[in-house]
Amino acid sequence: MRMAYQGEPGAYSEAAALAFKPAARLIPCRTFEAVFAAVEDGSATHGVLPLENSVGGSIHRNFDLLVEHELPIVGEVEVLVEHCLLAAPGVGRHDIRRVFSHPQGLAQCELFLRGLPGVELVATYDTAGSAKLIRDEGLRDTAAVASARAAELFGLAILERGIQDFAANVTRFVVIARTAEQRAGSDRTTIVFALPNKPGALWRALSVFALREIDLLKLESRPIRGRPWEYLFYADLAVGRHESRCGLAIVQLAEFARWVRTLGSYPRWKAASPANSANERNE
């Protein structure tokens, strides 16, 4: 398996890729768009993308890209994110004038960063990439919010560990592939649909799941580009697409939705046991 991910080595997306398939050959990409391109052109068999964080919320660009591309979701991974404040060796907190990180990293550490008076927060393309910038440019007035692994890889010192606002800071990633994969135990289905703009449309849409006792794990709206004040709805269903009640619900939804598309059906994430992880590495 060749797994593309956005960011530099040491990024949380790299950790997600290794959690999904420890033996995978990893392909770092500069942007989320590049991850999709790598899977589409075959240079990667799979791609891993952050979709939502328990503190910072959804990564909206990836929701949009899932609709723009015909690459199904075939799995998911959850990663417990522990952010650290990193700087060049010998740099102290009193020397810091800027903090670099991905916008999600900055958002997830808002309370801690608020306690650094006079420090400018600078959004970058990646958490680990921010650590790399400090090393490559020899910055001694700048810190990064990134992982402990990024500190190790880029030779930085850890000034503070666990600076995220909440200890239970979890990012959910999805895994995409060129074709759908029939995986045992699929119990989560992600769909996207558009509705006519009239009273009761959303109520009718959701009723097709309630009538069949299908739990909605997530529901989110996103603007339709080029059509002001019109929206798509993304929904995660706690059921596999192979189950008849899921198929019947989607068929009924299609009767009054403008359109419906299944983005993927896959097993919900369950952390692998140490024995299973060892088996994965030996494959």
Which pLDDT score, from 0 to 100, does residue 121 have? 96
Which pLDDT score, from 0 to 100, does residue 268 have? 94
Which pLDDT score, from 0 to 100, does residue 272 have? 54
By annotation, the residues acting in catalysis are 171, 173
Which pLDDT score, from 0 to 100, does residue 277 have? 44
Which pLDDT score, from 0 to 100, does residue 273 have? 44
What's the pTM value of the predicted model, to 2 decimals? 0.87
Q: Contacts from 232-235 at CB under 8 Å and sequence distance 24+?
A: 232/67, 232/192, 232/193, 232/194, 233/192, 233/193, 233/194, 233/195, 233/202, 233/205, 234/63, 234/190, 234/191, 234/192, 234/263, 235/190, 235/191, 235/192, 235/193, 235/209
Q: What is the mean pLDDT of each run of 10 residues along the chain (283 residues)?
A: 94 95 95 97 97 90 94 96 96 94 93 93 94 96 96 96 93 95 86 93 95 96 88 96 95 95 94 47 40
User: Which helix (H) or strand (E) covers residue 221, if one does?
Assistant: strand 216-223
Distances (CA, A) of 264 to 31, 181, 182: 22, 9, 10
Which pLDDT score, from 0 to 100, does residue 185 have? 87
- Domains of the chain plus CATH, in order, are 1-81+169-180 (3.40.190.10), 84-155 (3.40.190.10), 184-266 (3.30.70.260)
Which pLDDT score, from 0 to 100, does residue 235 have? 97
Which pLDDT score, from 0 to 100, does residue 229 have? 87
Strand 46-53 and strand 73-80: pairing? unpaired
